[in-house]
Each structure stands twice: as structure tokens, then as C-alpha cells.
Amino acid sequence: MELHGLDIAIIIGYIILTIGIGFWISKRASKNMQSYFLGGNEIKWQFLGLSNASGMFDISGTMWMVMLLFVYGLKSVWIPWLWPVFNQIFLMIFLSIWLRRSGVMTGAEWIKFRFGTGQGAMLSHLIVVVFAIVVVITYVAYGFIGIGKFASAFLPWELSPDASTNEIYYGLIFTGLTAVYVIKGGMFSVVFTEVLQYIIMTIASVAVGIIAMTKVSPELLAGFIPDGWENLSFGWNLNLDWSGIMESANTKIAEDGWELFTIFFMMMLLKGILQSMAGPAPNYDMQRILSTRTPKEAAKMSGFVNVVLLFPRYMLITGLTILALVFFNEELNQMGDQVDFEQILPFAIRNFVPVGLMGILIAGLLAAFMSSFAAAVNAAPAYIVNDIYKRFINKDASDKKYVQMSYLASLAVVVIGTLFGFYLDSLNNLIDWLVAALFGGYTAANLLKWYWWRFNGYGYFWGMVGGILAAMVLPYALPDLSALQAFPVNLAISLIGCVLGSLLTQPDDEQVLIKFYLKTRPWGAWKPVLKAAQRDNPSVQPNRSVARDSFNVVIGIIWQTAITAASIFMVIQHWNKFLICMLVVIISTVILKINWYDKIEDYPADFDQTSI
């Protein structure tokens, strides 16, 4: 792609500024591990929220949602519940508070807080460390390839006449540049560079949305979409027919298998609720929560992510989509069954983004890659150094030594992830299978750890193992089932491992359970532990907020969905529906202010603060 000198200057300036910030604040990160991995718990929740939003603003996910909106229209708002996107609502309402009250550094360290130090806890600790490291290395591998392909397509310098080699060179360059400031500056560098990256991505997203609004009127768009494309609501069937407009879209819907949309929606909702109640996976999302200054700020940070992420991101998604629907329709139709929706992004940039803004947009998309990559790189070393090196190899090393080991661990993660990236084409099925297996085993064990006192370290270990093995075997044993359809089977197998592993072994140490309960104060089946705690302190009260939390979660999901839909309706200029969505946003915001925000507590009123 040919770029104007101004655009090139903007891109180079962004890269220099990003690295400069990383080095400028690196001294603050080198004090100790708490500073390196969690920013010393000194970073304001607003900055952590912007950082978290930036890390979630990955371009691969964004382009996937462009494809969804293109094919499914407004009904695509529901499909990201597969992830599920509303896990951020569960976090903001109660789970971020519960997690931050632990005061730990990593998800594996939290296992010790929950299960103690017995053999079952050790096994659970081991499997969480392995889980976290493998997932992060996989993210780094995908990031390496993604950065290479994007930079090769959009930057003007040809580093090699061979296209694949050119992608590798660009991947190595941007992987190296990102790794430099992440390794040097730790969490401080990640957060403050991601705040810059968020600002750039937001400017680019809003600009694309405005360009689309000026180029595509509602009347013009109506000629390129099927009936029902502009409706959020759905019936038993999807009832979206692209015949005569784009046959490949009908093929895509048939391949996805989502025509019976109500059944798909119900399964997706059930899976999403269970996964959300399990809490965050041990990755950058959990690390941002543990980095906040207080539990109350952890809740605010998780809520803030929804506000700052959804509206600009969907302006970008919607802008790209409607530009492609109207102006790229013929080219996409000519591709036939080989239609490539990923071509929407370069088409829109080439044809509709002016000089200057193009540089900002490309810098913003580079920032999306770099922020996701940086978040992954910063997450893994905490497990390697804190949960392996410090715990089992060198318990009494100096802070300087631990920080030095963190540099080496970060470098090792980048190198291994990059090596995986070199072979990603041949390893693609293996990596997809591995990640699916790991996350397939995560839900049941991590759900029960919050809500059932009798669930112990052995139950956690065997539940994770059962779920992971089931996810490995099910694609071969039941090949006709999709991952969503296989989820109940996987969940049942994992639950059996959780329950049998717990009931066939002794309960965890009572004092460990009491300490966890007093500090975290979850609701659920904790009555025996509550009674044990009340022996020494009769004033201890159970968490009676399950009804309020559940109500707030429902309101929060409505609030999040309305924000998403409002941004789409604004760009396609359906002003009546936009105003209705904004009214829903305002009403739900007021309810959440009164029934959630004003009632957040750092710790229960009866908790002894001196024991923290």
C-alpha cells in the first residue's frame, strides 16, 4: 500500500513514542515483583480500565465481528456472548471485588489462598501454572503472525521479495519492539503505553464511523441488505435470507449452523453464565484486577471497560461493515464460495480514509496488535517467577534478582511464542485444539471454587483434568457436535471429576477455609465455614447480597447490550432506535448507580482490617 509521507511520519512517531514511554517509566517497575507485575498496586483504576479495554481491542476479534455484522446484521450483537462478552458484568458486580480481596499476585497464588498448601492444593497450583503459561505462549504465537501479516499488508517497505518472508520480518520487528518496552517496564509500561494506544484506536474508530455515516445513507444501505438485517429481535429461526444479494452469506449462515437461533441463543446464554460465574481466566484481565489499589476500585475498573471499549469499537466495526456492504459488494460476490471478509479492512482504508487520518488508523490498528501482545507477554512471567522460581527454587532471593528473572522469563515467553509462530500454519490445528481443551476444562472447577465450601484442591485438579481430557476426546468421539453443543457433555464430565475428587478426599484445612471466607465473603454454600468462623467471632455475617447481585447482573447485561446496539444504530443512522437504546442505557445506569455503585464495599463491615 502506498502511504503519504505524513502518514509514514505518524506511524513512526507512534512507535518511537510507545517505546519511549516504556523506558521512561521503567525505573518505577524495577523496585520489586509487586511493582513489576502489578504496578505496585498504585495505578488508578481509570488507567487500568483503559489499559484493559486496549488489550481487548484486538484486530482479529474486531474483524471477526465485522464479518458477523455483515452476515447477521443487528442480531450479531448477541453472538459475542459465545466468549462471553458479558463476563465483564459479572466481574464489575461482584467477582472483581472477591478476587481483589485476596491480595495475591497471580491466579496460581490465589489457589494457595483458597485451598492451602496440601497435596491437593499443590496439584491445583501446578495445573493453573501450566494452563496460564501455555495459553499465553499461544497468544504470543498468534500475535506474532497477526502483526506480521498486518504490517506487511499496510506498511510501504518491502523487506523481502517473498511475501511470507516479508511477513516474518515484520513480525520479528514488531514483536521485538513490543517486547523491549514490556520487558523493561513491566506493568507500568504496559498500562501507560496501552492508554496511549487506546486513545489512538478510539480516534481511528470514531473517524471510520463518521466517514461511513457521510458516505452511506440509510436509504442507500437498504438496497444492499436483506429484510430483518436491521432488527435486534429474532424468532425461532434466524429468518435472514440473502438470496439475490449475496449467496455466499447464506452459505456462511448454513455452515455456522445457527439458523435455529433461539436454541443457539439459549445454549450460548447458559454457557456464558456458567463461564462468567467462574471468574476470569489467569491472563491479562485477572492481572488488571489484581493490580488495582482496592477491591472497590477493581469493581469500578471492570465496569469502566464496558463504557470505554464498546462504543468506539462498534463505531469501527459498523463503519467498516456498511462501507463494504455498499461499495465492496460486487467484489465480494465475484469471490463466490471463496469470499474473504478479511478484505473489508484494506478495501475501506484504501478507498475512504484520507491522508493523515490513514496514518492514525494504521497506527491504531498496530496499537491493537501491540496492546494485545503486550498484555499477554506481561502475564506469563508472573507465574514463572512468582509461582515456580520463588516458590520452589529460590525463596530468599533479593527483589533485584526476582526482577532480573522476570526479564528472562518475559524474554523466554517471547522467544518460545515466536518459534511457535514460525510453524503456526502446520501447528494451527494443534494450537486450536490445545486452547479449546484447556478452556474446556476450566469452567466447572473454577465455578465451584467460589460457591461450595466442600470443594477442595483434589476436586479442582481432577475437575480441570477431566474437562481438559474430555475436550481433547470429544471432537473425535462426537465429531458432528460443535464446540457449543459439546459443552454440556464436557461440563458434566468435569463436574464428575470435581465432585468425586472432593468427596473422596478430606476437606481442606478449616483455618484456610475460614481465612478465605472471612476475607472474600462469597455467597453460596458456605454455612459450615460460617459457623466455624462465628465460634471465634459471633459478629461475622454471611453475604446476603445474592439477590441484589443477580438483579444487577441482569441490569448490567441489558446496559452493555444497549451500549453496543446504540453505537450500531448511530452509524447506520436509525435515530429512533438509537434514542431508545440510549434511554435504556440511561435508565440502567441510574439503577446500577443506586443499587450497585453506591453499595460497593472494599471489605465486609465485620472484617478485621488489621489482618489484611
List pLDDT tens digits, range 165-196. Answer: 888 888 888 888 878 767 766 667 777 777 88
List pLDDT tens digits, range 97-144. Answer: 999 999 998 888 899 999 999 999 999 989 888 888 887 887 788 778
The Cα 567–Cα 202 span in angstroms is 13
Class in CATH terms, 5-422+541-603? mainly alpha
The Cα 289–Cα 510 span in angstroms is 27
3-state SS assignment for residue 204 = helix
State the pLDDT confidence band at 256, using cuts at 50, 70 and 90. confident
pLDDT (0 to 100) of residue 374: 72
State the pLDDT confidence band at 557, using cuts at 50, 70 and 90. very high
Closest residue by Cα to residue 318 from 558, 69, 35: 69
pLDDT (0 to 100) of residue 38: 66
Residue corresponding to grid cell 514460525: 422
More confident residue, 263 or 378: 263
The DSSP symbol for 155 reads S
List pLDDT tens digits, range 268-305. Answer: 999 999 999 999 877 777 888 999 999 999 999 999 99
Q: At 257, which helix (H) or strand (E)? A: none
Residue corresponding to grid cell 450497585: 596
3-state SS assignment for residue 235 = coil
Angle, to 10 degrees, between the axis of helix 399-422 and the axis of helix 119-154? 60
Grid coordinates of 548: 441484589
The Cα 323–Cα 221 span in angstroms is 9
What type of residue is 571?
V
The mean per-residue pLDDT over the stretch 23-51 comes to 74
For residue 525, the cross-strand partners are 452
Structural contact between residues 115 and 124, judged by C-beta atoms closer than 8 angstroms: yes
Structural contact between residues 265 and 239, judged by C-beta atoms closer than 8 angstroms: no
The Cα 445–Cα 488 span in angstroms is 14
For residue 452, the cross-strand partners are 525
pLDDT (0 to 100) of residue 591: 98
What type of residue is 276?
S
The Cα 534–Cα 528 span in angstroms is 10
Residue 384 pLDDT greater than 80, yes or no:
yes
The Cα 181–Cα 302 span in angstroms is 25
Residue 366 pLDDT greater than 60, yes or no:
yes
The mean per-residue pLDDT over the stretch 368-373 comes to 71
Residue 61 pLDDT greater than 90, yes or no:
no
Structural contact between residues 287 and 380, judged by C-beta atoms closer than 8 angstroms: no
State the pLDDT confidence band at 446, using cuts at 50, 70 and 90. very high
pLDDT (0 to 100) of residue 289: 94
Residue corresponding to grid cell 501454572: 129
Grid coordinates of 274: 456458567
The Cα 410–Cα 139 span in angstroms is 14
The pTM of this model reads 0.90
Structural contact between residues 108 and 125, judged by C-beta atoms closer than 8 angstroms: yes
Closest residue by Cα to residue 217 from 572, 567, 570, 569: 572
3-state SS assignment for residue 84 = coil
The Cα 188–Cα 35 span in angstroms is 8
Distance of CA 520 to the CA centre of its chain: 24
pLDDT (0 to 100) of residue 26: 63
Grid coordinates of 40: 505496585
Omega of the bond leading into 84 within 30 degrees of 0 (cis)? yes
